[in-house]
Structure 1
Amino acid sequence: MTETLEILRKKLRFRAWHRGTKESDLMMGGFADAHLEELGAEDLAHFSALLDEQDLDVYGWVIGRDPVPEAHRTRVMSMLQAFDFTVEGLR
């Protein structure tokens, strides 16, 4: 049985807000709150794959410090890179 997109979004939102560091929580959780509802199944799968990666790796890719691996060069990564995940941006 496949889960509905609504259930998947809830699971991804929880995972995004429980990363292990406050910085990662703000980046991924803030993005999830702002964009999960507009993402379709393919984009949700890409976001889920990013949540499987190490926080420091994802952070490096998002801020442009490190090159993004081919597997993560997706629309979701572009959206993350454009997202203002600072505390001011989340207000």
Structure 2
Amino acid sequence: MKMRSMRRGIKEMDIILERYADDNLAQMDAVTLDMYDALLHENDQDLYQWVTGQKPAPERFRAMITDISQAISGPE
């Protein structure tokens, strides 16, 4: 999943998801890994809009997208 996180198609998502994978993959349980796998099957343009808040994420991904968004924005 690490490789799939960093070779997305658009550079912005490569950077965002590689960082998220580095920080979180090792601690994910089986359910969370399955959800992340499903997320990685989504279109990069949609993912980018969800992560940046341009469009709301689908309910099933909302918590994970929130985590990813917070990870890239850093501490407030």
- Deviation above 6 Å: which 4+ runs of structure 1? none
Q: Which is greater in Rg?
A: 1
Distance in 1 between residues matched to 2:11 and 2:51, nearest whole Å: 16
Distance in 1 between residues matched to 2:5 and 2:18, nearest whole Å: 5
Q: 1:42 aligns with which of 12, 19, 31?
A: 31
Long gaps (5+) in structure 1 = 1-11
User: Which structure has the highest helix share of the two?
Assistant: 2
Percent of residue pairs identical: 35
How many correspondences in the alignment? 74
TM-score normalised by structure 2 residue count: 0.85
How many Å apart are 1:72 and its aligned residue?
1.4
Distance in 2 between residues matched to 1:18 and 1:30, nearest whole Å: 12
Q: 1:63 aligns with which of 52, 55, 76?
A: 52
